[in-house]
Amino acid sequence: MDTSVRPGDDFYLYANGSWEKNTPIRPDRSFESPASDIYDRHEEKLRDLIENAAKVQDANSRRISDLYRSYMDESAIEAAGVKPIESHLKAISAISDKRQLARALGETLRADVDALNMTNYHTANLFGLWVAPGFNDSDHYHAYLMQGGIVLPDREYYLSDSPAMREIRGKYEQHVITLLRLAGFDEPEKRAARIIALEHAIAQAHLSLAEDNDVHRANNIWKPADFVFKAPGLDWPEYFRAAGLDKQANFYVWQPGAFKGESALVGSTPLQDWKDWLAFHTVEQYASVLPKAFADEEFSFWGKTLNGVSVQQPRWKRAVAVTDAHLPSELGRLYVQRYFPPEVKTEVQEMVSNLIAVYRQRLQGITWMAPATKAQAIAKLDALYVGIGYPDKWEEENYEVKPDDVVGNLWRSRAAKYQRERALIGTAVDRKRWCMAPQTINAVNLPVQNSLNFPAAILQAPSFDAHAPAAANYGAIGAVIGHEISHTFDSEGSAFDSKGRLRNWWTKDDFAHFNGVADRLVKQYDTYKPFKDLALNGKQTLAENIADDAGLTAAYDAYKASLKGQAAPEQDGFSGDQQFYLAFAQSWAAKLRPSTLRNEVLTDTHSPDHWRVFEVRNQDEWYQAFDVKPDEKLYLPPNQRVQIW
């Protein structure tokens, strides 16, 4: 803590200031948090599981250790040179007309985006596929297509005029040139200029992240023929044939404008530019698992330039991350067996039940909501599936893993995932399907399934500790659980009914009230400026800010209820309420490098951690707990505090 800061001036610094001041960011990190040690231990646990898997003689364990080994075997990678991607580059170089280009583009389509669960809107492929329950038919899986085609994280990196962004663009150009040169291309400067010009044009056709978040804009069903008329340029029948989607009767097109713009670019831009673009994207995608010169260049741009990290993570950590990303369920099974005691599941289940009970009470008590809307909201809460620890049914990750072919392994993994997701289209939805691996330290709401996942790995200290006081557990994991539940009713979640259909179940007045309050939250977060040239985007982060607002309120109520009328024990001179809010603020302690923070402000749908903590200024009980006065910076008069639920 830094008690020289008044809690009402900057509650984040009051709770975390001394830690922030005295904690250097280690050179191989883009950020630090008090939980960094736990993250480190977590990685070691995963490595132990992987290394032990090598000793077990069953096929699944073998694949885990082979994948890990293929990444670790630097001499094999060095010896192979660019050979592992050569056949792909040759195929690109042989493209001789736009029809063949369409085929090549279709073959690159992957299930690598996820609009509403993992909120990942980025793919460097021309488009991305997300398979999920249909907005208008939530009983079946449908195909959602999303914009893509740029390597940098967001359109702003191409379009923004700020000096910092211009500098990043300059370094990106050098990065493209370097990778092309390493891969053996002639005239890398000229090619790089064309590739970047094409990406710039694609970025201009893209929607912004704030616009992407609006599900109503995304509810566009196109039949295959519509693509030809609404987005001419690309040879769509050929594209869909190559992607194995030519039998699909319809698609959800998330950003129609981007499809029109990108397809037109396929038609109007010279073939050679597209071939360079495809070749570079292939090299870029696999550079980190090519020889050292490639991997170093990759780190130099993505680590140093984009995230300000000066030293690369040790190879074993990267190998763990790759194994985790490409065999998440296989590794998850081992993780749960070894590290997730059944008692934790029971205890967290109880916290979840308490929080749901609080939400039900709050919904029943709301005065502005019509009874009809209320009944629907409660039905939604009752139908919510809450997954704790791990899924009932594990995903099958069937692809060949070879101990000496890391590029091939990743290629086959991505292709297998695509085929797995593609095969789901049209089948019945399993609402208990998970989208996050048990060994992930995170939690998620799946709005179209009306469900939540709390992976085993987040149900450990510091988020949850069976021996900690209730105030600490409710302020930390309680607020996270409350956050996830409230996504059910945030600006996005509230658009879906109890079955996950995109359907307006609100009365006009209730919806207007909700939007009015949400608008005030947008304005509140718009005022925060982490940089002179960059403020938070209240609209882009609205759903998450609503979830923080409602989640903290509910966690507080559930905490109070858990005391069953007893006074909370003081600790280190802090009252129960003070402990609760401090635990909340300390659970978000994180020190970021400026470039990482900038990236986050631009591409994340969450507010950065420091500003997430400012949510307390909307909570009446926080003012009482810390005796916050009107002259303090976070002070809001009662009528300006935003309470959504």
Find the DSSP H helices in 425-489: 470-473, 479-487
Q: Which is nearer to Zn ion, 142 or 610 (CB)?
A: 610
Q: List the interface residues with Zn ion, window 484-523 (CB under 5 A).
A: none
Quick one: tokens of 165?
């962004």
Is the C-alpha dihedral spanning 299, 305, 307, 308 positive or negative? positive
The closest alpha carbon to 388, from 338, 354, 436, 449, belongs to 436
Cβ at position 489, least distance to Zn ion in Å: 12
Q: Report the candidate in 248, 236, 452, 485 with the shortest Cα–Cα distance to residue 360.
A: 485
Site for Zn ion in 125-164 (CB under 5 A): none
**CB nearer Zn ion, residue 113 or residue 547:** 547
Least distance in angstroms from the C-beta of 547 to Zn ion: 5
List 455's β-bridge partners, or say none. Answer: 389
| Helices and strands per DSSP (H, E), number in the chain | 30, 9
Choices 39-47, 69-77, 240-248, 544-552 (CB under 5 A): range interacting with Zn ion: 544-552
Strand bridging mode 385-389 / 221-222: unpaired
Residue type, 31: F
**CA Rg value for the chain:** 25
| CB closer to Zn ion, 179 vs 547 | 547
Q: Which residues lie below 8 Å from residue 97, measured CB to CB, with a gap of 6+?
A: 271
Token output for 372:
């009809």
Query: Smallest gap, in angstroms, from Cβ of residue 328 to Zn ion?
Result: 20
Per CB under 5 A, the segment of 89-97, 149-157, 538-546, 592-600 that binds Zn ion is 538-546
Choose the binding region for Zn ion from 210-218, 350-358, 410-418, 540-548 (rule: CB under 5 A): 540-548
| Residue closer to Zn ion, measured from CB, 233 or 482 | 482
Q: Which is nearer to Zn ion, 399 or 645 (CB)?
A: 645
Q: Which is nearer to Zn ion, 491 or 498 (CB)?
A: 491
Give the residue with the Cβ less far from Zn ion, 116 or 234: 116
**Smallest distance from Zn ion to CB 36, Å:** 22
Nearest distance from C-beta of residue 435 to Zn ion, angstroms? 13
Residue 490: CB minimum distance to Zn ion, A: 8
Which window, 222-230, 387-395, 471-479, 542-550, contacts Zn ion (CB under 5 A)? 542-550
CB 442, CB 434: distance < 8 Å: no
* Binding footprint of Zn ion, residue count (CB under 5 A): 2
Minimum distance of Zn ion from residue 51's CB (angstroms): 34
- Of the candidate spans 73-81, 333-341, 378-386, 545-553, the one that interacts with Zn ion by CB under 5 A turns out to be 545-553
Nearest Cα to Cα of residue 333 among 385, 416, 388, 389: 389
Closest approach, Cβ 88 to Zn ion, in A, equals: 37
Q: How far is the CB of 615 from Zn ion (least distance, A)?
A: 12
CB of 479 to Zn ion, least distance (A): 11
Contacts 24+ apart (CB under 8 A), 317-323: 317/43, 318/71, 318/288, 319/68, 319/71, 319/72, 320/43, 320/46, 320/47, 320/50, 320/68, 322/67, 322/68, 322/71, 322/289, 322/406, 322/410, 323/46, 323/50, 323/64, 323/67, 323/68, 323/71
Which of 77/613 has CB closer to Zn ion? 613
Interface segment toward Zn ion; rule CB under 5 A; list 172-180, 345-353, 413-421, 543-551: 543-551
| Between 199 and 544, CB nearer to Zn ion | 544
DSSP labels, 77-123:
HHHHTTHHHHHHHHHHHT--SHHHHHHHHHHT--S--BSSSS-B---
Report the residue number, 10 or 544, with the smaller CB distance to Zn ion.
544
Q: How far is the CB of 453 from Zn ion (least distance, A)?
A: 12
Name the residue with tokens 């002179």: 532
Binding window for Zn ion (CB under 5 A); candidates: 364-372, 383-391, 448-456, 536-544? 536-544
The residue assigned the tokens 């091939």 is 408
156 versus 544: smaller Cβ distance to Zn ion: 544
Task: Determine the Cα–Cα distance for residues 465 and 471; give it in Å rounded to an integer.
Answer: 11
Min. distance of Cβ 501 from Zn ion in angstroms? Answer: 21
Nearer to Zn ion, 32 or 484 (CB): 484
The region of 124-132, 354-362, 547-555, 620-628 touching Zn ion under the rule CB under 5 A is 547-555
- Whole-angstrom Cα distance, residue 69 to residue 51? 9
Does residue 445 contact residue 452 with C-beta atoms inside 8 Å? yes
Pairing between β-strand 451-455 and β-strand 385-389 as defined by DSSP bridges? parallel
- The residues that touch Zn ion, with contacts defined as CB under 5 A, are 544, 547
